[in-house]
Amino acid sequence: MRGLHQEFLIYLLMSLVIKNLTANIGDQQILKGVNLEVPKGEVHAIMGKNGSGKSTLAKIMAGHPDYTVTGGEVLMDGENLFDMEEPDERARAGLFLAFQYPMEIPGVTIANFIRAAVQARLPEGEELEATDYYANLYAKMDALKIPRAFTSRSVNEGFSGGEKKRCEILQMAMLEPKYAVLDETDSGLDIDALKIVSDGVNALRSPDRGFLVITHYQRLLNYIVPDKVHVMVDGRIVMTGDKDLALELEARGYDWVTEGELATA
């Protein structure tokens, strides 16, 4: 028994665990009891139709103020995310959300924006060393094929879809989260950009990091090969499988999942 208990504890401390999560926007229930576990070192995909609740799940974990959590919890290495009220606390604790629609921040350069985010993770009174910071930033920009001139451009302002997504991955690379949630990162990308972004994500795969990749299309999962694929329908995870499930969904459509669910019910 003791061995099992310890094993469970270790598992809990090394995972992103979503338990019975229910959430509303206004009076409308969007999440209806989500259960999911992403162990460190693994990449899990959530697939689902538009409106199934998968982007909502991402925003709720990050702490978007429009949504109300009505039940359940999200444990990040054993720590309840909902004990941290502000989105910035959750981010500093190690959660990263790559946005489907990254915001433009006029007049704030990428270099200053990311620097503020990195600085926010240092203990009070400790100053980020500028030379090291730029060396790190440039190396990561080079890897993502982001021109260095971008450092002095305003965050996402006038960027193409591909540039915005590459900058999301750049931020992830600089902030080195424990768990990253990628919300429709493939949307609006041509095949070249998709490859660059996927390479960027794959380079960050590590035994110390878990990924939750939210996508509508199977295409992304050819490049970021998941350990598990979950299907979300109407605010619940209704099916879980390996990477081949994504191919099956691509071939048979999402209705097949709901029909199957009905059949077993």
Partner 1 sequence: MNPETPTTDGLQFTPSPVWPDWFRSAQQDAWNEYLATPAPTRKDETWRYANIKALDLSAFRNAPPIASEGKLINASTGLEAIAAKLVFGNNALVHSQTDGLPAGVVVQPLDVAARENEALFRQYFLSQPVELGSHKYALLHKALLSGGVLVHVPANVEVALPIELYHWVEGANSSVFPHTLIVLGDNAKVTVVDHFKSADGAPAFACGINDFHLGRGAKLDYVAIQDWSADTLAFHINSTVCDRDSSSTALVANLGGRHIRGESFSKLAGEGSRSVMLSINPLDGERQVDQRTLQDHAAPNATSDLLYRNSLDDKSQAIFSGLIRVEPGSKQTDAYQKVENLVLSEDAVAHSMPGLQILNDDVRCTHGATSGGISQDELFYMQARGIRPDLGRRLVVAGFFHSLLERLDNETLRARVAALVNERLGVKVAD
End-to-end CA distance of the chain: 35
Q: Say which residue the tokens 């995909």 belong to.
A: 45
> By C-beta, is 35 or 112 nearer to partner 1?
112
Is residue 24 a contact residue for partner 1 (CB under 8 A)?
no
Part of the chain binding partner 1 (CB under 8 A), chosen from 31-39, 76-84, 111-119, 226-234: 111-119
Task: Annotate 33-77 with DSSP letters as a single string.
Answer: EEEEEEETT-EEEEEE-TTSSHHHHHHHHHT-TTEEEEEEEEEET
What the block records as the tokens of 29 is 């229930």
Binding map of partner 1 across residues 141-160, x = CB under 8 A, - = no contact: -------------x------
Part of the chain binding partner 1 (CB under 8 A), chosen from 25-33, 46-54, 63-71, 193-201: 63-71
**How many residues interact with partner 1 (rule CB under 8 A)?**
36
Q: Where are the beta strands (DSSP E) in the chain?
A: 15-25, 28-39, 43-48, 67-76, 79-80, 95-98, 105-109, 154-155, 179-183, 210-215, 228-233, 236-241
The correct pick among 23, 36, 47, 97 for binding partner 1 (CB under 8 A) is 97
> By C-beta, is 79 or 190 nearer to partner 1?
79
Q: How many angstroms separate the Cα of 49 from the Cα of each of 46, 52, 111, 137, 188?
A: 10, 6, 36, 36, 17
Part of the chain binding partner 1 (CB under 8 A), chosen from 16-24, 36-44, 47-55, 103-111: 103-111
Is residue 161 a contact residue for partner 1 (CB under 8 A)?
no
Binding-site ranges for partner 1 (CB under 8 A): 62-66, 86-88, 91-92, 96-97, 99, 102-103, 105-109, 111-117, 119-121, 130, 133-134, 154, 171, 175
